Amino acid sequence: MSRDSNTEHMFLTRALEKILADKETKRSHNVQLRKACTTALVDLKSDDRDGAVRSDSGILPHPDMKPYVNADRFFLPFELACHSRQPRLVVTALDCLQKLMAYGHLIGNTPDPTQPSKLIIDRVIDMVCACFTGVQTDDGVQLQIIKGLLTAVTSTVCEVHERTLLQAVRTTYNIYVGSRNLINQTTAKATLTQMLSVIFQRMETQAIVEQQKQQLGTELKSDVERSPSPFTYHMKTATEVLPTVKVTDQSEEESGAVDHKDTSVTSDERLATVANPVSNDDMMRETARWLVEQVLSQSLAQLQAETASEDVETASQLSDGSNLDDLPDTSGSTYQMQGATLTSGGAIKFSHVLQKDAFLVFRSLCKLSMMPVVDSHTDPKSHEVRSKVLSLELLLTILQNAGPVFLTHDMFVCAIKQYLCVALSKNGVSPIPRVFELSLAIFLQLLGSFKVHLKMQIEVFFKEIFLNILDTGSSPQHKWMVLEALSRICADAQCVVDIYLNYDCDLSLANIFERLVNSLSRMSQGSVRHTQHHGESAESPVTEHMMQVKAVECLVSVLKCMVEWSKDIYVNPNTTGMMATTIEGTTQSSQNVAFLRASGTSEAHLAVDEGDSGMGGSGPSTPRTHRRMTSSAGSSSLEDLRESNPLLSAALDAPEEFAERKQRKDIIEQGIALFGKKPKKGVKFLQDKGVLGEDPGDVAKFFHTDSRLDPTQIGEYIGEKEKYCIDVMYAYTDMMDFSGMDFVAALRQFLSGFRLPGEAQKIDRLMEKFAGRYCETNLSTGLFASADTAYVLAYSIIMLTTDLHSVKVKTKMTKEQYIRMNRGINDSKDLPRDYLEKIYDEIAQSELKMKPTAARATAQRTGSMTTGHSEKQRRALYALEMEQMGETVKAMMEDVSRRQTKFTSATHIEHVRPMFSACWTPILASVSVNLKETSDDDLVRLCLDGFRCSIRIACVFGLELERNAFLQSISKFTLLTVSAGITEMKPKNIETIKTLIAIAHTDGNYLQTCWHDVLKVISQLELAQLIGTGMKPQFITGTAGSTAGGVSRSQRTDGEVHRSSSDLKRMAAIQESMGETSSQSVVVAVDRIFNGSVRLDADAIVDFVEWLCVVSVNELSSSQGPRMFSLQKIVEISYYNMPRIRLEWSRIWRVLGDHFNKVGCHANEEVAIFAVDSLRQLSMKFLERGELPNFRFQKDFLRPFEHIMKRNRSPTIRDMVVRCVAQMVHSQAANIKSGWKNIFSVFHLAASDHDEGIVELAFQTTATIFEQYFAATIDSFQDAVKCLSEFACNAAFPDTSMEAIRLIRHCAKHVADAPQMFKDYGAEENVSETDRVWVKGWFPVLFELSCVINRCKLDVRTRGLTVMFEVMKTYGNSFQQHWWRDLFRVVFRIFDNMKLPEQQQEAKAYRIIDYEYCVDTLMMCCRRQNG
């Protein structure tokens, strides 16, 4: 006998002998069992003697041998043993059957002889399941049942489907719930998890294999068409049957019946069946079959290997707890579902029985999770709670391990909508923490994988559960779990932007994103009170603090998501150099990024490099792996993506369109809010804005469709007597169809959209129109003689409702009184008595209720749970409130499950701009309040991260108001603003300083005017550092005897300053805290701001310099004494930025020059000296670079020297200016071009000074210039001669005056010797080349000499006159005729001066001599000219 036969017979023989040997078998009532065992043993021995042929390949039989156990001969003993209910017998029988199935000896794919419609395996599973009879079942039997069912479901040779599969899952489920043995519970739970994993993985694997078969068949067919050889002919024939290798036929799928016998037909047999008639070439046929099977088997083996590890991991992660009454029997073959793929008969069309199995199990678990839990069974250890928990855990496992088929197939999507979402609507408001927690986990999985299909369901879950729990007095435990869930949602950038895009920008949906941020902000500030719940007296301060921290964490995660979403347009000055990039210039980049996100290539979480952007700390973090592409490639790829994915094509977003929608929605919400206060004004506002039509029908439709309107105000509006309001009321009523409706039902529908006004006349108008509309739509009833009857009846029903259900009415109306009240209303006749009695009973049982406003409902919920109740009452009210909320949510879920909506996947960067604009106010309030009040390090870090992210977003998108608000707020928390004064600092203030400096370092290109706040803090930081070192104690404010901003001092005694001990201690504490500001990290961070200014763009550096100068002015004007910190930094950044291009540097110097002008004239000489010396150093540095011809930047750069010399009268400063300029001349004369003009201007101002040293140094330098660098000064020749003239006119130094006149004569010689120099240099308009010598050379010399003659004393004037006429006599022959006309005008000025009254006490004779000398000289010149 073969080894396989021995193995099979060994299992059977041992089991049968063990059963026979048991004492229970020998009892009289087990006669059939003994007989069956004996017969089976005899048959086994007979088989051994017959020597049946078996395979020698091993334990597992060969597929062709069909080694299943014959039920007639071998199965009956085990079935009888199981029915005996004796644990030992049952365990033995189940163990044997489990081993037979495990080793492949029991397949069970043959019909059951006792019931041909079922298979043997169905009978086996029924028998195994029947062994579990409840909680009293033996523990060993339970364990064997679990093992047997797991083996049957996961076996590769036994096929368990549909009803049998559900029965196996149900039994395992019941064992978990009913068993008292912890080991059995754990095993049952792990078994269920593994069963579900196998069921769904088989479905996914089958779909992949089927797809591979089709692909392979297509490839083989194409090969046949290309090369029709005998081999390819056989391949083609073989592949034609591949698509038919299914467990069920198409006709069977439609009818719902499954023939398990067909599943034994293997691919080999079908290939052989087709291939044999084609050819006798066995080699070709076997080769084709081998090729097909090899490809399929390799693919299947690889897929199974990948999923095996996931199954083990899933089973190992199970936790305890679940319960079940009974799994619903859903073994039917026809299922009605909204939106699923249906056959012609209305049944769901399953492509494979494995898909049907997965669907049945999933639906059963959903229904199981909806089973109610009564209040008395809310103990976590009760069967009901454990059942619900287990079903939710299994559903969560299915979603976590979902494959492509489950994620995309319409059938499963519809099942999630109709079953799972409805189940979540009940469990999502459960007071049981574990149930609520699992519901949140399932919702998060749905949000991550199915949000495209569940747009409406997500809105309901957020609006009715999440936000209600956050905003009302829910238990702290529930709030904490909601916050945990929100923290995961807020960490996903794609999810956050999608929520804003699909809900806040949808006119018909709630503002989920905005409301979520507002709720988190309120919670983070401790604005939401919590109810006492489940024995909690009240939430502890620790719990409240944890919730505040978690709420802030969620808000910061939202901000980080927005930073992550917009990072592609952020320009970091520390990585991009001085390149300027604007948002407008990134359109193409945004499109590329949009394509990448739409195709799934970008990460959804925030990942900001600490060294890059400074966005460190907690929060989402993923690798920043973004791929870039060219614009053409991006465009073509985007078009290809649109064509290949229709869903994505419809969802690609346009920022302008969504921004317009959001703006329109905001207008509508403003109008609705105004309508809630003043209905007429609200309608008028909406009509003026163009969002509501002028026609009454448009207003009526608006009242019908928008649920946000206040029902009370709608009733007031349509009840008004104005014609327009009446027209709206008529249109509103005419839009309702009461056809075939009962009168009371129609009245309920009519009143469902608004609340009746309190004024009787308004009610009268409404009831009159309702009666007319009801009679109009129910003409065939014949019950009412006219509309008057309906009108009176409607009014009486309103009165009856008030009478029966108002607490103010003590004596209630009876039925007879109501009937009497309505006598004769039907055209003087009575309505049928039974009809009126029916109305009375219906109203008595259910009053006419009108939906309260959302605000009123929320107030009622909050007030009922927070005031005037004991702990027990609050608990009961909370449970009741949650139950009501659950019913509301369930109804809404069932309603939206039938609605189809389009979900837009966000891709564009620009969506962040309106998102931040909508949420920045509550976020600022949250981080500001918490940073002000807390000392917790984690919360401080979160708040600072919120500031950094908010400022980054506002900067990137140019939101000036938001940026200024956040920066000004964070600067106040540094305690370093000038208005606050220097006080004791805490660690959080030090961290705030570091954060502000980091913001300036990373976002400097965007700060603009906010540089003022940053630089003020840095300025005060330097002061704090000085206080910390004890160098500036007088700046400490707030001590005894101090004034605002003043110095703290006590009274002086004998010249000494005495301070009280308390003041000294406080000053010591302040100095110690200020010492933290001198840490190396702070100092280095500040230095990076100024060193990094070289990397700011052209506009940013100008803003930086401008505000640094403003801060410097404030420092210098301080009442405690000037400080020069910012002035020093100005000099430093000037050095750092010197290499910038001239265009940028000229803009910078325009600001710096004005500042140096002011500082150089400062009243404090130390400040002015520093400014002048700094100017000198900068000038020397800049002059080293030289200047090209016709440029004038040197003139702008040196202008501050001229300004200081003109405005500052301090001899020290003036002397220093002259010395600085002299040094520049001596060291950089070769590089000076346009700067000569400023130099001569400075010397011109120095020439009139009364300080000999200043005048002497200036003149010596001027003389040096004329002697050595005359050619370089041609462009400034006029200024040079004017400078000499000023020296000559200084009466205090006659020697210098004479020497200056000599240099003027020397200038005339230069003009005569090198006239070509003046001709070639500086061509001017309207001046010929010949006249240039006169205009730029001769005329300045002669004119300045005339000025000397007119202004100076006699000796100098005489010398000047002599030189002037010597020049005329010497060089006059070279003058042009028209030059003489100009010259005579200059000379005649001298004579004009002689005619003036005597200005000086000089002898008249000397004036006469000068006059005669002038006349003689002029006559001589004239004769020479005429000669």
Task: Summarize pLDDT for 877-890 with one digit per residue, the tens.
Answer: 666 766 777 777 87
User: pLDDT tens for residues 751-772?
Assistant: 888 888 888 888 889 999 999 9
Tell me the mean pLDDT in the region 1137-1161: 89
The answer on pLDDT for 979 being more than 60 is: no
Choose the weakest-confidence range: 282-291, 464-473, 947-956, 1195-1204. Answer: 282-291
pLDDT at 73: 58
pLDDT of 875: 62
Residue 961 has pLDDT above 90, yes or no: yes
Indicate whether 1286 pLDDT > 90.
Answer: no
Whole-number pLDDT of residue 564: 93
Q: How far is residue 1074's CA from residue 1084's CA, in Å, rounded to a whole number?
A: 17
- Residue 650: strand, helix, or coil: helix
Among the ranges given (292-301, 473-482, 733-742, 814-823), the one the predictor scored with the smallest mean pLDDT: 292-301
Model confidence at 1417, pLDDT cuts 50, 70, 90, reads: low
1418 pLDDT tier (thresholds 50, 70, 90) = low
pLDDT category of residue 1374 using cuts at 50, 70 and 90: confident
Lowest-pLDDT choice from 358-367, 372-381, 870-879:
870-879
| pLDDT of 264 over the 80 cut | no
Query: Which of 39-43, 252-256, 378-382, 413-417 is predicted with the least confidence, judged by mean pLDDT?
Result: 252-256
Encode burial over 563-573: b for 16+ CB neighbours within 10 A, e otherwise: bbbbbbbbbbb
Q: Would you state the pLDDT for residue 877?
A: 67
What is the predicted pLDDT for the residue at 188?
Answer: 92
Residue 876, H or E segment: helix 871-896
pLDDT category of residue 1069 using cuts at 50, 70 and 90: low
In this predicted structure, which of 339-343, 805-809, 1014-1018 has the lowest mean pLDDT?
339-343
pLDDT greater than 70 at residue 915: yes
> DSSP string of 516-567?
HHHHHHHHHTT-S-----TT-SS--HHHHHHHHHHHHHHHHHHHHHHHHHTG
Q: Grade residue 1103 by pLDDT with cuts at 50, 70 and 90.
A: very high
Span 550-579, mean pLDDT?
83
Task: Say how far residue 1168 (Cα) sits from the centre of its chain.
Answer: 52
Residue type, 8: E
Is the per-residue pLDDT at 716 higher than 70? yes
pLDDT of residue 118: 83
Neighbours of 158 (CB within 10 A): 23
pLDDT on residue 581: 36
Residue-wise pLDDT for 497-531, tens only, equals 999 999 999 988 889 999 999 999 999 988 654 44
Q: Assign 1060 a pLDDT band (cuts: 50, 70, 90).
A: low
Report the share of the chain in percent with pLDDT over 70: 72
Stretch 15-32: mean pLDDT: 77
SS (H, E, C) 768-830: HHHHHHHHHHCCCCCCCCCHHHHHHHHHHHHHHHHHHHCCCCCCCCCHHHHHHHCCCCECCEC
Instruction: List, for residues 188-229, the tens digit of each pLDDT value.
Output: 999 999 999 999 999 999 888 888 888 887 766 665 555 544
What average pLDDT is seen over the chain?
75
pLDDT tens digits for 156-183?
Answer: 888 889 899 999 999 999 999 888 889 9
**Residue 655 · residue 908 · CB < 8 Å:** yes
For residue 699, is pLDDT > 90?
A: yes
The residues annotated as belonging to the active site are: 759
| Tokens representing residue 866 in the block | 């927070």
Residue 1362 has a pLDDT of: 84
**Rounded to whole angstroms, how far apart are CA atoms 314 and 191?**
11
Average pLDDT of the segment spanning 589-608 = 38
Q: Which of 41-50, 215-224, 1149-1158 has the highest mean pLDDT?
A: 1149-1158
Model pLDDT, residue 300: 45
Question: Which tokens hold the place of 121?
Answer: 């395996």
What's the average model confidence in pLDDT over 1080-1093? 88
Residue 618 has pLDDT above 60, yes or no: no
Q: How far apart are CA 614 and CA 617, in angstroms?
A: 9
Say if CB 182 and CB 143 are below 8 A apart. no
Q: What percent of the chain shows pLDDT beyond 90?
A: 25
Mean pLDDT on 282-308: 43
What are the Cα distances from residue 1283, in Å, to 687, 1204, 1217, 1252, 1300? 76, 17, 16, 16, 9
**pLDDT value of position 631:** 32
Q: Which of 911, 914, 908, 953 is nearest to 596 (CA)?
A: 908
**pLDDT confidence of residue 921:** 94
Whether residue 129 contacts residue 145, with contact meaning beta carbons closer than 8 Å, is answered with yes
pLDDT tops 80 at residue 1051: no
**What mean pLDDT comes out for the span 640-662?**
63
**Least confident piece of the model among 454-463, 857-866, 1164-1173, 1261-1270:** 857-866
> What are the residues whose beta carbons fall under 8 Å from the beta carbon of 209, sequence distance 6 or more?
296, 299, 300
Q: Give the pairing type, strands 115-119 and 111-112.
A: antiparallel
